[in-house]
Homo-oligomer: A and B are copies of this chain.
């Protein structure tokens, strides 16, 4: 099969999957009585729990808006209406003020809400707030709502304060043995937000976040350890290795996701050295160390020294690392046209599309055993929503469109 035919085959399957996934969530997830989205959705689309998870509410609003804004076939009223209903629910209920006395600010969001919006749990981290910002910024791009954009930027100021100045507002007690840690998730998430808030905005906004973007990249690069041979999930604030399991932990999917965040950033900045690091270090290393040579698929957690991780699910194959790997390798191939990167994409594609999609009821399974058997058959749960699968399919489809358009141009020139 020619390379063009192969890319066309990928695009066809990816487009079909994306249509199916969007349809699944539009049909099953909207809560028309209380607003917002059901998150806990069983194999066949039935709701098995009514709790609403703020990460997933925010991500779903963001994803609907992104699809509505960037793909003609999703520029449909029901997509925008679902996004607006989700955002209204978030605005009304997510920022539930906690009764904690630990200086929680007006911006702290809950992690989990009841169906009618009462706070069930508040995490002492920044992530609910991050997805709230992503949702509001993306919706403001669709609606042109300047107040909503301004609110996102105000909340972003609070996040920056928590991350870079003083985290005490998050409510975590300071304990003498709890060493401050640079966890990969934090600078990754902040870089993602910088890209979200600045994309296509005027120079004033771009300038406002320029230094933060560079800081995020530097913080992410601190996770490259052991002479460039390993990427560790947690390092000390001065970028050295931490003791014990925490210090040795590796999360291949997370590194691959960081890889394509860096690649996007490098492309925007025209930074070839960073492009090189993103591909050779943040993509090739986790693939080499994280791919299961026996059963295929990416491990969830690993220990850099080969000890057994203490996370019970370490050897399971989760959907999202595979989504991140698909985006990462296709983006790397798009930027470099190196055939070995398309080969990597193909390997991940084969495993992913032969294991995760549910041919019977639509959408994807999220959790497989090491051997590739479905371990949990839910389609949505506390950490799986309308996000990684459609984001991956959406990005891959657009990248394949571009690749194929350029191939056509090349063919026409010949």
Contacts and interface: CB of A to CB of B under 8 A. Distances in A.
A122 interface: yes
Contact of A178 (B119, B313, B369): B119
Contacts of A381: 310
> What is the total number of copies of this protein in its complex?
2
Interface string A89-105: 00000001011111000
Contact of A175 (B43, B50, B96, B178): B96
Interface stretch (A125-133, A326-334, A348-356, A372-380): A372-380
Contacts of A177: 112-114, 117-120
A119 B176 CA distance: 6
B120 A178 contact: yes
Contacts of A117: 177
Nearest to A172: B100
A112 B177 CA distance: 9
A176 B100 contact: no
A310 B378 contact: yes
A1 interface: no
A253 to B, nearest CB: 14
Interface in A155-174: 173-174
A150 B113 CA distance: 43
A104 to B, nearest CB: 9
A173 B310 contact: no
B313 A174 contact: no
Give the interface centre of A121, A244, A316 by most chain B CB atoms within 10 Å. Answer: A244
A33 to B, nearest CB: 15
Contacts of A226: none
Interface residues of A, number: 50
Contacts of A178: 119-121
A49 interface: yes
A308 interface: yes
Interface in A17-56: 40, 42-43, 48-51
A118 B308 contact: no
A175 B310 contact: no
A206 B327 CA distance: 65
A49 B48 CA distance: 39
Interface in A296-316: 307-310, 312-316
A40 B245 contact: yes
A250 interface: no
A243 B48 CA distance: 10
A152 interface: no
A314 B176 CA distance: 34
Interface in A360-377: 367, 369-370, 375-377
Contacts of A121: 175, 178
Nearest to A381: B310
Contact of A245 (B49, B119, B312): B49
A51 to B, nearest CB: 6
Contacts of A96: 175-176
A307 B99 CA distance: 34
Contacts of A49: 243-245, 310
Contacts of A239: none
15 contacts: A40-B245, A48-B244, A48-B307, A50-B243, A99-B173, A114-B177, A119-B175, A119-B176, A119-B178, A120-B175, A122-B173, A309-B376, A310-B378, A312-B375, A313-B313
Interface of A: 40, 42-43, 48-51, 96, 98-102, 110, 112-114, 117-122, 173-178, 243-245, 307-310, 312-316, 367, 369-370, 375-378, 381-382
